[in-house]
Amino acid sequence: MNALAYSFSDSATMLRRQLRHMVRYPSLTFIVVGMPVVFLLLFVFVFGGTLGAGLGGVARASGTGDSRAAYLEYVTPGILIMTLAAVVQGTAISVAMDMTGGVVARFRTMSISRASVLTGHVLGSMVQAAISIAVLLAVAVLLGFRPSAGPMEWLGVIGLLAVASIALIWLAVALGMVTNSVEAASNLPMPLILLPFIGSGFVPTDSMPGPLKLFAEYQPFTPIIETLRGLLTGTAFGNDGLIAVAWCVAVAAVSYTWAMRLYERHSVH
Amino acid sequence: MTTNHTGPTIQVHGLRKSYGRQVVLDGIDFEIAQGTVFSMLGPNGAGKTTTVQILSTLISPDDGHVFVEGHDLSREPDAVRAAIGVTGQFSATDRFLTGEENLVLMADLRHMGKREGRRRAAELLDRFDLAEAAGKPVSTYSGGMQRRLDLAMTLVGDPRIIFLDEPTAGLDPRSRRTMWQIVRDLVASGVTIFLTTQYLEEADHLADRIAVLDHGKLVAQGTAAELKRLVPGGHISLQFTDAAVLEKAALLLKPTSRDDEALTLQLPGGGDVRSLKSMLDRLAEAGIEVDGLTVHTPDLDDVFLALTGHPDTTQPQEAIA
């Protein structure tokens, strides 16, 4: 086997290790999958009636006069991004737990692909993200969400969610390593959960006051959410798709480099 | 277990490491011959673990050269990693997996192939008396079991060089004996072993060569017999009931030291039966009653006292005046 094949095989081994952890200790997965569902129910049933009425025809369902249905349609893409943020919070915790334990020190003394420990975490989190997103979309459909997306649009949704999760997960891997405690690692990704609020995740950015609106329009989650919303429900999103992908690629590249550097430098405790 | 390399398996020259202002290793040199046990002896904080971490590629030295089987550690770390196995002081097992899964994980990372990996895992579980607990998560294992699994994981890929960082620290006497036997078996099969320990007894039992590390410097190197020659023999301590008796005994025996408050005398001697008996006979003839007697054999404290001029302060000291 050559170096590349070894690197694939080592990453696959580490992914198997992560999946075993998930199966054996499902509580973290449960929280990660459950939290966005709770948020969706909360926003649709508690706030949805009022917020939907204020959307002013942004959503297709607005025409029907059912403001709760309109808000479900509007908020689902925002909650999808929140789903990713919840997944990566789990990533940061499990990376930090791994780095403070002895087994990673053992991996580092072995002749294995250097990136494989981290790619194992990344691939494991991708699986978790896929489950989480599927569950959330299923719940949304049960509540009456009817995406207008055709096969090409669905491909776009899956592709964008994939690059967004790669970017956010690598960022979380780096955040999980930059601190030496599990508690700190669980707090660091917190802004990622809050950012969709200060964007177009829950209300249109036009409704915000000046400086906040400026931030909300230019922060990376907004173009991602706008693109998902456009692909799923047929709203116009202009060049947000390109901006979204550019953000994801940039965050992924910086985070990957950062994470690898931290891994190389990380000394044992 | 063959290698094309001739000469010492491990060569270390002028190894230095500091953390900020704190110098941990202050230029150490040693060589380890293939198929031997080299023991690094020293108290906590002497730099033993740092040495193991550098030699096993976990951290890089500030200065110095390390060659493992002829491979330069700084240039070919992967070649070094392929030859070594490490069992550190702290458990390096995956607590969420079972014992068997941990071993299969190692086999996978050594690219052993599925069937071969399973066979090797089963063999090691048997050898380390873990077969019964193979299917249980490591978090339920006792300290001794975790240590055995840890070592078994190190052995999965048949490394030619094994680093053991205080492998018996915190183990009960029986587990310690088991660990010693495992080390002897490994050496018999041609493995080179680097072992750190705080126990002179352990180094004495296992090592072909011993190096004494103190404050980042090697203060002595040699076989156990050579080191013991550097250490003054043991002493005998006598306890009396009152000062008058102590005075009489002191006049009779010419002790190396006396303590009037603790009412004790110290005499040179390793405590062989004949000289003990003659000393007690002389005391009996003079009508001096001895309250208590202890025989002190040379240990790590004595080695340190002899080699460094200061006692090993991290060990609980015996109250000797």
User: What percent of chain A shows pLDDT beyond 90?
Assistant: 58
Q: For residue B114, give the chain A residue with the closest CA.
A: A13
Q: Helix, strand or coil for residue B238?
A: strand
pLDDT confidence band for A113 (50 / 70 / 90): confident
CB-CB neighbours of A256 under 10 Å: 20
Classify the C-alpha dihedral A95-A97-A100-A105 as positive or negative: negative
Structure tokens at B213: 């590390």
Question: Which chain A residues touch B105 with a CB distance below 8 Å?
Answer: 13, 17
A20·B97 Cβ contact <8 A: yes
Q: How far is A254 from chain B (nearest CA, A)?
A: 25
pLDDT confidence band for B304 (50 / 70 / 90): low
Closest in A10, A16, A108 to B58, CB measured: A108
Residue B3 has pLDDT above 50, yes or no: yes
Question: Which chain B residues touch A24 with a CB distance below 8 Å?
Answer: 96-97, 137
Beta partners for residue B237, in sequence order: B266, B294
Q: Alpha-carbon distance B37 to B16, whole Å? A: 23
Q: Alpha-carbon distance B34 to A36, whole Å? A: 59
Beta partners for residue A221, in sequence order: none
- The chain B residues in contact with chain A (CB within 8 A) are 53, 56-59, 78-79, 81-82, 84-86, 88, 90-97, 101, 105, 108-111, 137, 153
Position B183, amino acid: V
Q: For residue A108, give the chain B residue with the closest CA.
A: B58
Position A190, amino acid: M
Structure tokens at A110: 């072995």
Q: For residue A24, give the chain B residue with the closest CA.
A: B96
Q: Helix, strand or coil for residue A258?
A: helix
Closest in B92, B97, B137 to A102, CB measured: B92
pLDDT confidence band for B315 (50 / 70 / 90): very low
Q: Alpha-carbon distance B55 to B9, whole Å? A: 12
Q: pLDDT digit string (tens) for A197-228?
A: 899 888 888 888 989 999 999 999 999 999 99
Classify the C-alpha dihedral A138-A142-A147-A150 as positive or negative: positive
In total, chain B counts a number of residues equal to 321
Residue among B164, B155, B170 nearest B120 (CA): B155
Buried b (16+ CB within 10 A) or exposed e, B197-211: bbbbebbbbbbebbb
Q: For residue A17, give the chain B residue with the closest CA.
A: B105
Q: Alpha-carbon distance A164 to A216, whole Å? A: 18
Beta carbons within 8 Å of B253's beta carbon, 6+ residues apart = B238, B265, B267, B279, B282, B283
B92·A13 Cβ contact <8 A: no
User: What percent of chain B shows pLDDT beyond 70?
Assistant: 90
Beta partners for residue B164, in sequence order: B87, B195
How many CB pairs below 8 A link A and B? 65
Q: Where are the alpha helices (DSSP H) in B39-172?
A: 48-55, 77-83, 99-109, 114-127, 143-155
Residue found by looking up tokens 């009996």 in the block: B284
ipTM, 2 decimals?
0.84
Residue B270 has pLDDT above 70, yes or no: no
- The chain A residues in contact with chain B (CB within 8 A) are 1, 6, 9-10, 13, 16-17, 20-21, 24-25, 101-103, 105-112, 267-269
Residue A109 has pLDDT above 80, yes or no: yes
Burial class of residue B13 (count of CB atoms within 10 Å of its CB; 0-12, 13-18, 19+): middle
